[in-house]
Each structure stands twice: as structure tokens, then as C-alpha cells.
């Protein structure tokens, strides 16, 4: 099933406000149950087909970590099972039927909760997108050259990126369906479907999994990005998540440039109950990294998160320093860093894309954390990143609280962004 089909299915069946009747719930249960037969471990039944398509479900190594993270989901999944264990064999069929019903109701609840986080976090973008599209459609008379020009302008304005806008408009020129579309709603549906299809096609070989060190040795994750994008906050959020999932976490405050950066990380460390290795103000960041890596390795920490200074893309010295940090990490743990996550602020739009290009060229970025998604009215940046950068978005930030960081899930994202735009 394609991403757009998943979208449609959700639109018709899983709208939170409209699925409170027992009738619609039981429809969902049977869907959810039939999908879960082929399911492995994902907490989201509707996410599975997308994961299969992008080749994620075979990645068992990272699966264990992902499972540990989704504690809430596990707790809900566990409950009916342990209840059924304690039941005697002579229990009536109707009792076990109602139990399996309540189990799938719980599964649906988990699915909806995750979707709700996306829905809330994407509210601004969804409204912004809808406004742009409705303005564009209000001018719709016929599918001619002006129509395509307006469409490109609308898409660029929504931050999907120039390349993606041209690609969408070029492909739509070939669409017989669009040429025959008379109603505004049909035109809108064809455009959104094209966007979702192109987005999905661009992501076929994308690796959105987090990578960890093999055999329980220390995983090192380096965070890079310009000033103020949310590196320290993201590290704090991830430290909480993994700590709560039972992993031992260590933080390295290698941002020794900005006064207050170390203190900020230490505060997150206290909140998450994880230690922080810090140096003196203006100390050589590499020395902090060295000390932290040695400690993490010798004391067998599961994960070390390294916070780095906000580096300016035109500052060669700072880029060189990042390289130096990597060399030091590699000297102590040869296969590290296991991830270099570039943090980008979604509210900066195309500027974020420029940053991504520069960082990708000068450091081995393995994935993106897109922060402040709650604060932008132009969610299209996600399309531009995939289309132009071919870098996977691994995490998405919807706010300042620890629980506002989520694993990036394309189907939840697409649905949260477009759900009011497709009939
Ligand atoms: N609304 C919102 N704010 C966020 C999010 N992530 C981070 N922030 C805020 O962004 C601001 C900057 O975050 P920091 O974590 O200090 O950024 P940084 O990249 O470490 O900055 P430097 O240390 O200067 O390089 C803080 O006020 C955070 O609370 C998010 O997902 N949503």
C-alpha cells in the first residue's frame, strides 16, 4: 500500500473526532488485526506498510532500541496479555473475544495518540498549507500555463523547495487526470497525491533508523548545527527518552564557546538524571570530547551524546574543529561516531536547506533532526530535505518539552500536514 493510500485510509477511518462510535471502532479493529498478522514489532499498524516499502523492517539491530523507546505502547500491549495469562482455560469464548477487542482498541489508542501529537505539532503548517492552497485554488479557472506558474509559486512559498516545485509541476503537465479535472477539489486531490507520491518515491532507499554500536559497546552520537537550532534541547530530550528506556546515557558538553551552553546541558542532565562531562569555559572542545569518550568506553555507557558549538557555515575553523572531534572519537572507538545528526530549525525554511548542504559537504552527516516544527507555517521543508538532500529526517521536534521529540514517521507527517486538504 502506498503512502497516499494510507493517507486516504486514515482520512476515511481514523479521524479522531469521527471514530467514536462502536461501529467505526470495530471496522478499525478488524483492519488493525488483519494487518498485525504480518506485523513484526512496530507500535503502529498503519506505519508498517511504509516501513516495509522503505526496507526498514528487516533492520533488526535497531529494532530493539526502537522497541525500548516506545514504552507507553509496550505497556498498553502488555496489559491484555498478562491478563490472559492469568485466566483459566475454561473461560468462555465471549470473554476472550471481548478481551481481544479491548486489546485492539488499545492498539488503536496508541496509534491515535501518536497521530495526535503529529496533528497538534503540525497545526500551524497544516493551516498555512491549506491557506496557500485555497488561495491558489480560488484563482483556478482552467489548467493552463498560468495555472502551473501559480502552482509553482504556491509550492515554493510553502517551502517544498524550487526543485521539488518544478518536478511536481512538470509531472502534473503529463497527467491526463489533471487536464480533465473540472472541480477545484479534483485539482487539489491530484496535486496532493502527486506530492505524496514523489515524496514516497524519493525516500525508497532512505535509512531512517538510528544506528547503534554492535554487541552492547558504547554508541557515540555527535550533534552538529548552527547556533540556536536546538542541539542542546534535542540532546536533553533524547537523554530522557533513552534513560527512561533503560539505557545508560552520558552527555558531553563540547560547546565551550557559548557562555551558558554547558549549564544548559547540565540542567537537562539533571532533569534526565544522566551525568555530563564538561570542561572549563573556553576550554578546547576536543579535550572535553576526549574525556567523555574515554569515560563512556571505560565505564561501559550505552550511549554518549556529544553537544557541539553552533558553527557558522562560513567559518572554516569551526568546521575543522568538528573534524578534529571526530578524529578523537575514532581514535578511542574506531567505528564511532555511529551517527552524526544535523539539527535544523524548520522555521528557517530554505536557509535550513542551505545549512544542510554545507554540513553534508563538510561532515559525514547521517541524519537530520528537524526542530521547531510546531513554530512553522511551512511544513514543506520536509519535502525539500528529502528531495534535494537525500538525508533522512530521523527525529522531529514539536515543542520545548522532553516528550515533544518524536521519531520521524512519514505517514503520520503526511497525514498531519494534508488531512484537511484532501476530500
Ligand atoms: N518551539 C520549539 N522550540 C524548540 C524546539 N527545540 C528547541 N527549541 C528551543 O530553541 C531554543 C534554542 O535551543 P538550543 O537547544 O539552545 O539550541 P542550540 O542549537 O543548542 O544553540 P547553541 O548552543 O547556541 O548552538 C531554545 O529556546 C529551545 O527551547 C522545538 O522543537 N520547538
The predicted model gives 414-422 an average pLDDT of 80
* Residue 397 Cβ < 6 Å to ligand 1: yes
pLDDT tops 80 at residue 106: no
Q: Report whether residue 104 contacts ligand 1, using a CB cutoff of 6 Å.
A: no
Q: Residue 227: what pLDDT?
A: 86
> Which range (81-95, 304-318, 338-352) has the least confidence?
81-95
Q: Could you give phi then psi for residue 343, rounded to 5 degrees? A: -95, 125
* Ligand 1 centroid, distance to 344 Cα (angstroms): 10
Query: Is the shortest distance between the CB of 229 and ligand 1 below 6 Å?
Result: yes
- Is the separation of the CB atoms in 56 and 203 below 8 Å? no
pLDDT at 195 over 70: yes
Q: What was the pLDDT predicted at 246?
A: 94
pLDDT for 300: 95
Highest mean pLDDT among 40-49, 280-289, 303-312, 366-375: 366-375
Can you give the pLDDT at residue 24? 30
Q: Which of 225, 233, 258 to mutate to test the pocket of ligand 1 (most atoms within 8 A of CB)?
A: 233
Return the percentage of the chain with pLDDT > 70, whole number: 73
pLDDT band at 82 (very low <50, low <70, confident <90, very high): very low
pLDDT band at 268; cut points 50, 70, 90? very high
Exposure class string for 100-131: b at 16+ Cβ within 10 A, else e: ebebbbbbbebbbebbebbbebbebbbebbbe
For the Cβ of 371 lying below 6 angstroms from any atom of ligand 1, the answer is yes
Q: 232 in ligand 1 pocket by Cβ < 6 Å?
A: yes
Q: Average pLDDT, stretch 94-114?
A: 51
Ligand 1 atom nearest to 255, measured from its CA:
23
Distance set, CA 151 to CA 129, 136, 183, 386 (Å): 12, 7, 16, 20
CB of residue 372 inside a 6 A radius of ligand 1: yes
pLDDT of residue 224: 92
Lowest average pLDDT, out of 84-93, 324-333, 378-387, goes to 84-93
**What integer pLDDT is reported at residue 173 of this predicted model?**
85
Give the tens place of pLDDT for each residue, 128-157: 888 888 888 888 888 888 889 999 999 999
| 355 in contact with ligand 1, CB cutoff 6 A | no
Q: Which atom of ligand 1 is nearest to the CA of 310?
A: 25
pLDDT at 11: 67
pLDDT at 182 over 80: no
- Residue 309 pLDDT: 87
Q: Is any atom of ligand 1 closer than 6 Å to the C-beta of 269?
A: no
pLDDT of 62 over the 50 cut: no
Is residue 32 predicted with pLDDT exceeding 60? no
Q: Give the residue-averaged pLDDT of 303-308.
A: 96
pLDDT value of residue 64: 53
Distance 216 CA to ligand 1 centre (A): 31
Q: pLDDT exceeding 90 applies to what percent of the chain?
A: 35
Question: Which residues are part of a known binding site for GTP?
Answer: 225-232, 307-311, 371-374
What is residue 410's predicted lDDT score, i.e. its pLDDT? 87
Residue nearest to atom 21 of ligand 1 (CA): 228
Query: Mean pLDDT, to the nearest integer, of 365-393?
Result: 91
Does residue 2 carry a pLDDT above 70?
Answer: yes
The Å distance, Cα 346 to ligand 1 centre, comes to: 11
Q: Which residues contact 197 (CB under 8 A, 6 or more apart)?
A: 2, 3, 4
Instruction: ipTM value, please give it.
Output: 0.97
CA 129 – CA 137 distance, rounded (Å): 12
Which residues are CB-neighbours of 339 under 8 A, at least 6 positions away? 210, 211, 219, 221, 222, 366, 367, 394
Give the nearest ligand 1 atom to 309 CA.
25
Q: Report the distance separating Cα 386 and Cα 236, nearest Å.
A: 26
Nearest residue (by CA) to ligand 1, atom 29, is: 400
Q: Is the pLDDT of residue 93 over 90?
A: no
Backbone angles phi, psi at 43, to 5 degrees: -80, -15
Is the Cβ atom of 258 under 6 angstroms away from ligand 1? yes
Instruction: Say if residue 350's pLDDT is above 80.
Output: yes
Q: How far is the CA of 77 from the centre of ligand 1 (A)?
A: 34
Q: How many CB atoms lie within 10 A of CB 335?
A: 12
CA of 61 to the centre of ligand 1 (A): 30
- pLDDT of residue 114 exceeding 90, the answer is no
Mean pLDDT, rounded, of the chain: 77
Q: Annotated binding residues, as ranges?
A: 225-232, 307-311, 371-374
Residue 228 in contact with ligand 1 by CB distance below 6 A: yes
Angle at 138 between CA 132 and CA 141, to 5 degrees: 130
Is the distance from CB of 300 to CB of 218 less than 8 angstroms?
yes
What is the 262 CA–ligand 1 centroid distance (Å)?
14
**Using CA atoms, how far apart are residues 258 and 380, in angstroms rounded to an integer?**
31
What is the mean pLDDT of the segment spanning 337-356?
92
Q: Hey, whose CA ends up nearest to atom 13 of ligand 1?
A: 230
pLDDT (0 to 100) of residue 14 = 55
What confidence score (pLDDT) does residue 183 get? 81
- Alpha-carbon distance 342 to 365, whole Å? 6
Q: Is 31 exposed, middle or buried (0-12, 13-18, 19+ CB in 10 A)?
A: middle
Amino acid at each position: 500500500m502506498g503512502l497516499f493510500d494510507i493517507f486516504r485510509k486514515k482520512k476515511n477511518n481514523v479521524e479522531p473526532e469521527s471514530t467514536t462510535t462502536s461501529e467505526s471502532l470495530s471496522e478499525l479493529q478488524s483492519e488493525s488485526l488483519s494487518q498485525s498478522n504480518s506485523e513484526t514489532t512496530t507500535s503502529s499498524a498503519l506505519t508498517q506498510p511504509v516501513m516495509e516499502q522503505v526496507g526498514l523492517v528487516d533492520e533488526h539491530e535497531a529494532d530493539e532500541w526502537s522497541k525500548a523507546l516506545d514504552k507507553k505502547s509496550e505497556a498498553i500491549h502488555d496489559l491484555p496479555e498478562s491478563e490472559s495469562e492469568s485466566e483459566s482455560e475454561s473461560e468462555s469464548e465471549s470473554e476472550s473475544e471481548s478481551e481481544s477487542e479491548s486489546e485492539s482498541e488499545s492498539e488503536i489508542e496508541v496509534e491515535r495518540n501518536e497521530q495526535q501529537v503529529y496533528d497538534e505539532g503540525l497545526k500551524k503548517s497544516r493551516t498555512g498549507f491549506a491557506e496557500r492552497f485555497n488561495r491558489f485554488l480560488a484563482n483556478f479557472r482552467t489548467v493552463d500555463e498560468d495555472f502551473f506558474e501559480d502552482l509553482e509559486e504556491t509550492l515554493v512559498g510553502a517551502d517544498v523547495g524550487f526543485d521539488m516545485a518544478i518536478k511536481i509541476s512538470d509531472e502534473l503537465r503529463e497527467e491526463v487526470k489533471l487536464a480533465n479535472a473540472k472541480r477545484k477539489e479534483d485539482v487539489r486531490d491530484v496535486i496532493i497525491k502527486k506530492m505524496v507520491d514523489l515524496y514516497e518515491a524519493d525516500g525508497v532507499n532512505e535509512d531512517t533508523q538510528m544506528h547503534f554500536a554492535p554487541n552492547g559497546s558504547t554508541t557515540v552520537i555527535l550533534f552538529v548545527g548552527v547556533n540556536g537550532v536546538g542541539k542542546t534541547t534535542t540532546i536533553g530530550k533524547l537523554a530522557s527518552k533513552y534513560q527512561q528506556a533503560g539505557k545508560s546515557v552520558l552527555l558531553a558538553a563540547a560547546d565551550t564557546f557559548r557562555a551558558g551552553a554547558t549549564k544548559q546541558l547540565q540542567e537537562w542532565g539533571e532533569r534526565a538524571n544522566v551525568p555530563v562531562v564538561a570542561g572549563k569555559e573556553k576550554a578546547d572542545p576536543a579535550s572535553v570530547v576526549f574525556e567523555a569518550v574515554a569515560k563512556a568506553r571505560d565505564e561501559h555507557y550505552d550511549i554518549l551524546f556529544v553537544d557541539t558549538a553552533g558553527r557558522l557555515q562560513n567559518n572554516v575553523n569551526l568546521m575543522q574543529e568538528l573534524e578534529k572531534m571526530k578524529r578523537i572519537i575514532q581514535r578511542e572507538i574506531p567505528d564511532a561516531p555511529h551517527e552524526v545528526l544535523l539539527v535544523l530549525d524548520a522555521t528557517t525554511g530554505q536557509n535550513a536547506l542551505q545549512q544542510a548542504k554545507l554540513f553534508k559537504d563538510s561532515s559525514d552527516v547521517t541524519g537530520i533532526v528537524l526542530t521547531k516544527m510546531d513554530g512553522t507555517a511551512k511544513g514543506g521543508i520536509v519535502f525539500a530535505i528529502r528531495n534535494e538532500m537525500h538525508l533522512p529526517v530521523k527525529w522531529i521536534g514539536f515543542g520545548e518539552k522532553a516528550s515533544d521529540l518524536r521519531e520521524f514517521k512519514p505517514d503520520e507527517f503526511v497525514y498531519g500536514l494534508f488531512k484537511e486538504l484532501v476530500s
